[in-house]
Amino acid sequence: MEYIDIINALVLLSNFVLLPAITYGSQLALAALGVTLIYAVLRFSNFAHGDLMSFGTMVTILITWWLQSIGITGGIMPTALIALPFGILITALLCLLIDQSVYKFYRKQKSVPVVFMIPRRFPSVVQCSPTMSV
């Protein structure tokens, strides 16, 4: 009986502590790696990287729900694995749209790196501000 209690404790520890910690740490590492690579290539920090990760997650979840509603499943595999490439593609298209519509202008002007952070973040602040009236 004592060995079963130890095994149960190890399973509970791995399910409720180790796996969530590894998952969350992987998300933080992915975000840090993305910000670092963007800064290394483009020479400015895009702090909306977390927004783009959230957008990709939202798109993947919505496509998963849509696929399940029309009866497409992955069998024994999660349906989200079918939706994941679509989420990646749509998020990449959003990144290219933001780059072409906002950052291209500032690169042509050879603006200082601080100015690059303003255009993407400022509209979010204006839209989410509870004290501003439209």
Residue owning tokens 């729900």: 65
Verify that 117 and 56 share a domain, yes or no: yes
The predicted pLDDT at position 87 comes to 95
Structural domain contains residue 128 = no
**pLDDT over 70 percentage in the chain:** 77
Residues 10-69 have pLDDT tens digits of 999 999 999 999 999 998 888 888 888 877 777 666 667 788 888 999 999 999 999 999
The residue type at 54: S
Structural domain contains residue 133 = no
For residue 124, pLDDT over 50 is answered with no
The whole domain housing 84 covers 47-121
pTM over 0.85? The answer is no
Helix (H, G, I), strand (E, B) or coil at 103: helix
Verify that 24 and 51 share a domain, yes or no: no
For residue 132, pLDDT over 50 is answered with no
Give me the mean pLDDT over the 70-89 stretch. Answer: 92
Verify that 66 and 101 share a domain, yes or no: yes
Verify that 37 and 51 share a domain, yes or no: no
Residue owning tokens 């255009």: 119
Q: CB neighbours (10 Å) of residue 54?
A: 12
The predicted pLDDT at position 36 comes to 82
d(CA 18, CA 11): 10
Structural domain contains residue 69 = yes
Q: DSSP string spanning 43-79?
A: SS--TTHHHHHHHHHHHHHHHHHHHHHTT---TTS-T
